[in-house]
Structure 1
Amino acid sequence: MPSLRVSTHLSRNFSLILFLCVLVGFISSLTLTANSADKSASPKKVDYAAEMKRIPPRAPKDALKSFKIHPDFKIELVAAEPLLRDPVAMCFDARGRAYVVEMSEYNDAHKEGYSSVKLLEDTDGDGVFDKSSPFLTDVTLPTAVFCSQGGVFVGAPPYVYYCKDTNGDGKADVREVVMEGFGRDKGDEGMINSFRWGMDNRIYFSTGIDGGMVTVAAEGPEKQFNTKGRGVILDPATRKIELTTGGGQHGMSLGIWNRAFVCANSVPMQVLMYDDRYIARNPYLAPPPAPVNIAPGGKFTKLMRISQIEPWRILRTRLRAASERGDSEGGKPSGFFTAATGITAYRGDAWPLEYQGNLFVGEPANNLVYRAAPKPDGLSLVAPRADQDAEFLASTDVWFRPVQFENGPDGALYVLDMYRELIEGAPFIPEEILKHIDPIGGQDKGRIYRIVPKNFERPALSDLTKLSSKELVALLDSDNGWTRDTAQRLIYERQDTSVVPDLKQLAAASRKPVTRATALWSLEGLNSLDADTLLKGLKDQDPQVCIQSSRIAERFAKDAQVQQAMIALAGHDSIEVQYQAAFSLGAFENSARNQALAMLLSKNVDNKWMRMAVQSSLNQGAGEVFVLLARNSDLLENKQTQAFLGTLATQIGAQSDVENVKLLMGALESLPQSQQKLAQQSFRNLLSRASTSTKQVLAKSKSEYTAQLLSGMMKSTIEQATNSKLPVKTRVEAIPTLSIGSPDETLPVFEELLSVQQPLPIRQKAITTLGLVNDERVPELLVEAWPGLSPQLRMSAVETLFSRQPWQVALLDAVKAGDINSGDISPERVQLLKSSQDKAIKKRATDLFQNQRLTGRSDVIKQYQSSLKLKGDPANGKLVFKKNCAACHRLENVGVQLGADLKAIKDRGTEAVLLNILDPNREVKPQYVTYLLVTTQGRTITGLIKAENANSITIARADGTSDTVLRIDIDELISSKLSFMPEGLEKQINQQQMADLLAYLNSIR
């Protein structure tokens, strides 16, 4: 189950200096338990059976008595074993029946393929399910389900199936593969999940953390979709897909107005700030990450647990406090988010109106349900705790495991309780504890609850399949989100255009904004929306209707009246409408559109989201918008305006559009003398990624002003970079510009900047910038500076020398000559050289490093078992951390947060940590594999994929820096199949230092 793990995955690093990334190596091998080490070398274990008292499960009726719920509500049991087991997802069909996904295989390391989907029915209408049919059996790790066209889509990675019962026996006799290739995590975590109906007649779902290279049956086997870090949008009619913004681990919900929310183990609530289908239109845009945390307390939000703390948790805490395990962690082993899952926006009508839009998150490790009430925060949201003195729902039963929620046809909120003894992934539990717990305890149990107000009277439910299309249109006016969704879905499936007049009437005259918007989308789904009806939506008094109408208007880009209405929205009072207009205007092409985009930016230039939205619409027209902004003298004083002009200049330089370059140069020449610094910076940006056509325009230019910029730019850059009287930050900002100058002019400057007299940030930036200078003299420059480089700078220099194949040859020459010590090249770098696709480099590296062989992993593991017996000193361990780990991890205000939050390491067993520290490549999870990215300019960047979206990939490098590379600049992206964490750490840290470091990590509060 994707979010059932209490752990948080850690990143890895492949440099020996970045030892702590070893811990990431451990996380990548979580499915390996400590008992795989050589037991003959293991210390004697203590049997804790006496204190590991098992807490028994409760019968469904007794479990119902264990709840403490908000005083205005009550909780009802609607299904339990033996009708179902281990529910992790559900959906209601148009008849009110429930399809429930059962993941019985969770935590079973010995057997798979026996999960299922049950069909539950309430045959007597009392609100309690009393009939269960084995709709789909013998499924492996199913995670999601959604009703469509009389059947269901079922997510069971690597597949998405379409299943249907055609003979009415409650069992699927149709089972078609719709998609294939989704990642399947060996710990049952982070897989595809949360199939949700969108207002645009599409099914949205999350790919979790595992992603995958996916083929779609309707698209053909030759077309693949890289779903890593993405969301999927499925058209149920054509079964074709699009990719959109993704995020989170398990749990994705669409709010009342289709805004997407996600969550992850330690990240309870995030909102996705944009749909990256817009981002993909402009390949020169590298946007900020879409998921934004909206829970003010984040992971460490105080949770008001009312269940007892399980004995095994208490024991694990005590073991961590023991001298051989490290200092006390200084807190109780629960009470904050470690297993956030199933985020869901309430959209029903059974509850009071003020609850609509509230967000609910399950915390199964703490046996409770958390509620937040989102409110606007600029273009984003903030979602503070809604219940101050107690959780909305909590249980004294430690087996209560709320993993997912569903809005029901009766307007209530349904809670899926997996009901397990252990909700953590078994590999996360130390062996001496795990042997006293049944990892699959409760796999024959499971409950579903309904939450309703105390005075709730359950309405009689209709079979919507028996309603006429006209009656379905009337249901779009319902306050219940499930009813609207289902009616809209059925209208889309039927494609009955006889109801078009009724939909138009509803779109124009309904008193409810959400109904007007849903009617508009329903018309669009029937291919029956006319411009006049859409124009009413674009001029609607409600901002949210305007937003939805703007999205539809993109399909009417050639209609003159729609264009005018869209341009008018740039002046709307609502910043949310303006934000959507900034995206949607990208579908239109005329000068008035560019003026509207410039106006949007001028009104919101300090808002990074608005700047991003405007640029997404400027794959065409960037030059004209640059001119419009440059003419606004007041706006030019704003630093964000200046930065945005620089961004546009970089894009214009990279594009092969002569007219845009001429427009930009004309705008620069027109700038007043007081803005010549801005002109120079914009000119630098123009050249930083200049295409051949851009260079040709400048070379042929007879403008005296252009000549002055060309001659003056490098002079001022060199003066700024080398002036020791300037602030270091100012000097560092100038150094990247040196990469676009003539090497004959700039290499002597780099030599000066590499000298030992220069501040560390200056030398660091000079080394990384040299990677952009494609000149054969660069390696010689770095080798000459090598004796004066610190270990951290040597690591950056290795990264630079690895960035181009000819430079790798120079590196090998330097090692052979003794100018670079072979020990400065980390083992994983040596391995990359030995596996190079260039046969000459491969042979030379093999010959040169033939004596550099790592000790067998089993031997090393034996040697370091003694670390578990030694008393660790946290103070000394902190020094070990600072020296070896701080380059990519941050603890107690020391280090750089390149890797993940290491506080989570306290949740692991020390012996298992040690095992996987010393053998990180035993099993590597996909998200922690080292990648080699080769740019179209010939650079090679190696590291961990830290983030990716439709347009760019961010690679975290071993020296603690990172590179964001636009996809249009990527020639190859190759998995090395090696862990981000290197082998061979034992050459840097002895047994006592290992014990000290583990003690320090366990002492962090």
Structure 2
Amino acid sequence: MKTIMNRRGAEMPRNSRPILSGPLRLCVSAFFLSAVSLFANDTANSPADELKTFKVEAPLKVELVAAEPQVESPCAMAFDDQGRIYVAENRGYPHTDEPPQGRIVMLESTHHDGHYDKSTVFADGLTYPNGVMPWKGGLIVTSAPDVYFLKDTKGTGHADEKKVLLTGFDYAKSTQLRVNCPTLRPDGWIYFAAGLVGGTITSPEHPEKPAVKMTGDLRWNPQTGDIETLDGRSQYGISFDALGRRFICMNRLPVQHVVIESRWLRRNPHLSFAETVQDCNERTVKTGLRGGGDGVRVWPISHNITTADSHAGSFTAACSVRIWPGGALAMMYDGCAFSCEPTGNLVHVDRLVPHGATFIGEPLLDKREVFASSDDWCRPVFLTRGPDGALYICDMYRKIIEHPDYLPAEIRKHSDFDAGKTLGRIWRITSADASGRKAKAPVASPEQSLEREDVDKVPIDQLLAGAKNPSARVRFRAALGLGSSQDPRAVAALTHVALAEADDKWTRAAVLSGVGGREREFAAELFKEAKEEPGVSDLMEGLGMLFGRAALAEKRDALAKESLPLNDKTPAVLRIAFLAGVADGANAHIGDNASPSLSAAIADSAKLAQQHDAAIESRERAIGLLKHADWQTAGPALLAVIMSKEPTELRTAAIRAAASFDGTDVTNALLSAKHWAAIAPMERETTLAALLAKPAHIPRVLDAIESGALPKNALSAVQRTALSKSKDAAVRDRVTKLLGAAADGDRMKAYEAEKVVLTLTPNPKHGGEIFKNICSTCHRLNQEGHQVGPDLLDIRSQPKESILLHIVVPDYEIAPGFAASNVELKDGSLRLGIVISDTAESVTLREPARRGRKTFCAPTSPRSPPASIRSCRPAWRPP
């Protein structure tokens, strides 16, 4: 239920006046206190009235199972073998300064009609219980810092036995996102989702077992007492499909698949691949911020808004992922992934489409949800399948579900987090045409047995057969097992899998993890069969990386002729990819004494880097190889790409490659006034970051600032701070003299003079008007305004002094990606905005005061620059 919020500053237009005018004074003093109305209806609905607000996909129907006072704040539930429901009630949420209020209640249907009308407090005095699982006549309950076993041994309905099974889970932070969802698997282990906290976990019943530092999800063997940390970290929810594959979720992603365990990757110490989890959904809702924050689209019918405008219309609190095994829903839902979105008052469903070793999550329904409510208090937080095959939903039913930690301080002051804490509902969903349907246990074929976790114990002949199976997933699992086998036939089988699934990064990793110590044999097979097909270059580059890292570890020449299994018949693109991997892995330099084959590869790379009709990925690898050559050979090609109107990613690669050389001609070329004026803001950031990473370039960057070729604000606050703490005393002294004042002296004086406004009495109404009239041209707040700069909702969590500073001295710090530019069109007209894309065919702007419209500037020639781009500080004055 966490809502990510942007906390980055943004560039605002320059105010050339020395003091603030009256209205802007009001903006500073009142804007940060203008309240946000997060919810449309202020009163709760009865269960009967809430039922009327539901919209479900036909022929589904919703029925009430239980409601207050039988149940309050339900966040998890489970059925026992007698059909009773045990519900975890998170009644104390979200507060941390109260006595424990959490309970487990036992619900019974006295009339056996599906409505649970009797409630018994099974256990109370718990700290935020959030997971229940029947176990040996009792319950396993997650309630950080402990996992308990609770049992009623006297038949009273109240647990009289309570013991700690596991302890050490972190509970000092948020009252949500703690260890949760205990789940028993056929392997005899009980799995737990981690939340967002860690801990050092021990078992009081097995003091002889070592403590385990929790870095991800966890599993515990109740028979042996063993505890193991797992790959993947689910915030709330964990689910397994019929073949034992594990699925988790995070706040902005409803479905993630734990594809591979890191133990497989660790068997080859030279493999650089470390991913274990696949984000199944496409992040279709863009925040406009580089580096993340994008979300997955949902279609709510309520009036709730998120705590960041950029999150509107997307998952912000995904939880309780559930792979549907079949049952009392229509067959179209079998094998699909259900997920709750309590902020949007809905339940979402995705179809899982096989894709290589994993899956792609696609919305099953078009622009609608399987379950949605127009009641803003409806809070689906947990899903499970009942013994009748129906889908059950825990509806926590709260006015505010967001945790205070993720809301600005001023919003917290005016928010009633207790509204609804004594309420709660459980709903049952069935299909009218699916009565009597039951989940069918899958019949495991010999090939499907490779899906099991003990794949390394499968007989070698069956692994060998799996390598040629038509299923990509089976081939992936076969590769894992073959990598642990020393059978001489394994290398050929691994080669077959590698080429068949070269375009799948997970299968490539599975293969390369298993060829350690036999890289040459594998490479020899691969070079004989490899063709220029999708993914093969990636495979070659990964294999080359293994060669390079192994050579580095063994302190030998990675590029020595006798160590490279080069094959002249292999396409040049693939040889370049392999050698780029070798050179990167060994951090090797290819000099004048290189072998003829290496020299030829460098020459081919220089040509390929500039070959306009070649694939971008191939050209990037050529650039990657050039950075290991001499500047005399690599420089002309790299500079030609940098100075061209090639795609951004290609120029970025060339900039970074060029900056890796120490020569002054590199700095001079990248910081020349003509070049600097012609490149987009994002490339300027890339250029400075790349240059500052090499100590030799730092004095030259400072020279450019001192001469005026670069503005002082070209360096970010982070870069200025880093330079001011340089180990080089000369650099520190120059930075102090040159960049001591982060902004124009007059503006800082204005800032000091205007601090008086901080003592004024705030007036949110006035601040709202100022925002609407001035700030909304570039910013959004409460879903009002234009999303050009960052979302401003959490600005009230910042100190008043900081807000004033950024208004009066807009150049004090410009967040990456938000520097404004003027784009001059061929007809002489100008467009002001933030460049979000700059290609040979167009420049795309996000413009202020034009409702975020994108402007496309088309050139007359495919390769001619579409426009002249130059840095600007637009003249702007308050009214």
1:232, 1:242 within 8 Å by CA — same for their partners in 2? yes
Q: Select between 130-139 and 214-223 the one with higher mean Cα deviation.
A: 214-223
Q: 1:40 to 1:336 in 2, by over 3 A?
A: closer
CA contact (8 A) 1:910 1:998 kept: no
Matched, 1:170 2:57: no
Question: Cα deviation per residue 1:108-146 (whole Å; 9 max; x = unaligned)?
Answer: 5x845534141415385836362432525251x444344
TM (norm. structure 2) is: 0.70
Aligned counterpart, 1:832 = 722
Q: Deviations over 1:917-962 (max 9, x none)?
A: 956999xxxxxxxxxxxxxxxxxxxxxxxxxxxxxxxxxxxxxxxx
- Indicate the residue corresponding to 1:601 in structure 2: 498
User: More deviation in 862-871 or 817-826?
Assistant: 862-871
CA offset at residue 415 of structure 1? 1.3
Equivalent residues in 2 for 1:455-470, closer than 5 Å: none
Q: 2:583 matched to which residue of 1?
A: 687
Matches within 5 A, 1:395-794: 395=373, 397-425=375-403, 438-452=416-430, 513=442, 541=445, 543-548=447-452, 551-555=453-457, 562-632=459-529, 635-656=530-551, 668-672=565-569, 675-676=571-572, 678-690=574-586, 707-718=595-606, 733-742=621-630, 764-773=652-661, 775=662, 785=672, 788-790=675-677, 792-794=682-684
Segment drifting more, 617-626 vs 785-794: 785-794
Cα separation, partners in 2 of 1:289 and 1:569, compared to 1, 3 Å = closer
Distance 1:287 1:342 in 2: 26
State the one-letter code of the partner of 2:599. Answer: S
Alignment partner of 2:71: what SS?
Answer: coil
1:258 is matched with 244
The structure 2 residue matched to 1:800, chosen from 671, 675, 690, is 690
1:1000 positional shift = 6.5
* Paired residue type of 1:122: E
Contact 2:239 2:323 in 1 (8 A): yes
Q: 1:921 to 1:280 in 2, by over 3 A?
A: farther
TM-score, normalised relative to structure 1: 0.63
Counterpart amino acid of 1:291?
Q
One-letter code of the match for 2:419?
A: G
Give the whole-Å Cα distance in 1 for the aligned partners of 2:797 and 2:654. 37
1:180 aligned partner: 169
Provide the C-alpha distance between the structure 2 equivalents of 1:231 and 1:709, rounded to a whole number of angstroms. Answer: 48
Q: Is the 8 A contact 2:231 2:276 kept in 1?
A: no
Q: Is the alpha carbon distance of 1:856 and 1:608 closer, same or farther for their aligned partners in structure 2, counting shifts above 3 Å?
A: farther
Please report how far the alpha carbon of residue 747 of structure 1 lies from its aligned counterpart in structure 2 after TM superposition. 6.3
Which has the larger helix fraction? 1
Shift in Å, 1:844: 6.9
Distance 1:336 1:805, change over 3 A: closer
Checking the alignment, whether the CA contact within 8 Å between 2:328 and 2:438 is kept in structure 1 is no
Q: CA shift at 1:682, angstroms?
A: 2.5
In structure 2, what is the equivalent of residue 90 of structure 1? 77
Q: Which amino acid aligns with 1:202?
A: W
Q: 1:792 to 1:370 in 2, by over 3 A?
A: closer
Post-superposition offset of 1:582:
1.8
Between the aligned partners of 2:170 and 2:97, the Cα distance in structure 1 is 22
The question of whether the paired residues in 2 share the 8 Å contact of 1:89 and 1:145 is answered with: yes
Give SS of 1:689's match.
helix
Change (3 A) 1:542 1:221: closer
- For residues 10 and 129 of structure 1, the distance between their equivalents in structure 2, rounded to whole angstroms, comes to 41
Greater alpha carbon shift after TM alignment, 777-786 vs 730-739: 777-786
Pair 1:241–1:662, CA change in 2 (3 A): farther
Deviation of 1:237 after TM superposition, in Å, equals 4.2
Structure 1 contact 857–919 (Cα < 8 Å) conserved: no
Question: Which residue type is aligned with residue 30 of structure 2?
Answer: S
Other structure's SS at 2:167 match: strand
Seen in structure 2, the aligned counterparts of structure 1 residues 983 and 571 have a Cα distance that, compared at 3 Å, is closer
Q: Distance in 2 between matches of 1:372 and 1:729?
A: 31
Distance 1:576 1:920 in 2: 56
In the alignment, the residues of structure 1 paired with residue 804 and residue 184 of structure 2 have an alpha-carbon distance, to the nearest angstrom, of 41
Confirm or deny: 8 A CA contact 1:337 1:363 kept in the other structure. Answer: yes
Amino acid at match of 1:174: K
Q: Are the equivalent residues in 1 in contact too, given 2:126–2:143 (CA < 8 A)? A: no
Whole-Å Cα distance in 2 between the matches of residues 10 and 274 of structure 1?
31
* Residues 305-324 of structure 1 aligned to structure 2 (within 5 Å): 305=301, 309=302
Structure 2 CA distance for aligned equivalents of residues 416 and 714 of structure 1: 62
Q: How far apart are 1:442 and its partner, in Å?
A: 0.4
Note closer, same or farther for the CA distance 1:184–1:590 as it changes in structure 2 (3 Å cut). Answer: farther
Structure 2 CA distance for partners of 1:336 and 1:690, relative to 1, 3 Å:
closer
| Alpha-carbon separation, structure 1, partners of 2:539 and 2:601 | 20
Residue identity in the other structure for 1:832: A
Report the CA distance shift for 1:662/1:392 in structure 2 as closer, same or farther (over 3 A): closer
Aligned length: 778
CA contact (8 A) 1:97 1:119 kept: no
C-alpha displacement of 1:200: 3.2
Rounded Cα–Cα distance in structure 2 between residues aligned with 1:101 and 1:445: 13
CA contact (8 A) 2:576 2:622 kept: no
After superposition, the Cα gap between the structure-2 partners of 1:602 and 1:48, relative to the gap in structure 1 and judged at 3 Å, is closer
- State the identity %: 22
Alignment partner, residue 493 of structure 1: none
Change (3 A) 1:250 1:819: same
The residue type equivalent to 1:114 in the other structure is P
Partner Cα distance (1:778, 1:419) in 2: 65
Match of 1:81 among 53, 62, 68: 68
Q: Distance in 2 between matches of 1:99 and 1:732?
A: 57
Cα gap change, 1:374/1:859 in structure 2, threshold over 3 Å: closer, same or farther?
Answer: same
Q: 2:713 aligns with which of 823, 828, 841?
A: 823
Distance 1:406 1:621 in 2: 47
CA distance in 2: counterparts of 1:123 and 1:38, whole angstroms: 60
Q: Distance in 2 between matches of 1:119 and 1:725?
A: 67
Matched residue, 2:323: 345
Cα–Cα, structure 1 residues 171 and 244, in superposed 2: closer, same or farther, change >3 Å? same
> What is the CA distance between 1:1001 and its match in structure 2?
7.3
Question: In the alignment, is the contact (CA less than 8 A) between 1:142 and 1:156 conserved in 2?
Answer: yes
Give the 5 Å matches for 1:22-41: 41=29
Letter of the 2:42 partner, please give it.
R
Letter in 2 for 1:178: T
Within 5 Å, give how 1:921-940 maps onto structure 2.
none
Query: How big is the shift at 1:577?
Result: 1.5
Superposed, which structure 2 residues align to 1:261-410 within 5 Å? 261-283=247-269, 284-286=271-273, 290-294=277-281, 303=299, 305=301, 309=302, 339-347=317-325, 349=327, 355-376=333-354, 379-381=357-359, 392-395=370-373, 397-410=375-388
How far the C-alpha of 1:683 sits from its partner, in A, is: 2.9
Give the Cα–Cα distance (whole angstroms) in 2 for the partners of residues 379 and 830 of structure 1.
Answer: 45
By how many angstroms is 1:341 displaced?
3.2
Match of 1:215 among 170, 185, 200: 200
Unpaired segments ≥5 residues, structure 2: 14-24, 286-294, 807-812, 823-831, 835-845, 855-879
Query: How has the CA–CA distance of structure 1 residues 346 and 750 changed in structure 2, closer, same or farther, with 3 Å as cutoff?
Result: closer
Q: Distance in 2 between matches of 1:720 and 1:644?
A: 19
Q: Kindly report which structure 2 residues correspond to 1:858-873, keeping only aligned pairs within 5 A, or say none.
A: 859=755, 868-870=768-770
User: For the residues of structure 2 that align with 1:572 and 1:860, how far apart are their CA atoms?
Assistant: 75
Q: CA shift at 1:416, angstroms?
A: 0.5
Deviation at 1:292, TM superposition (A): 3.5
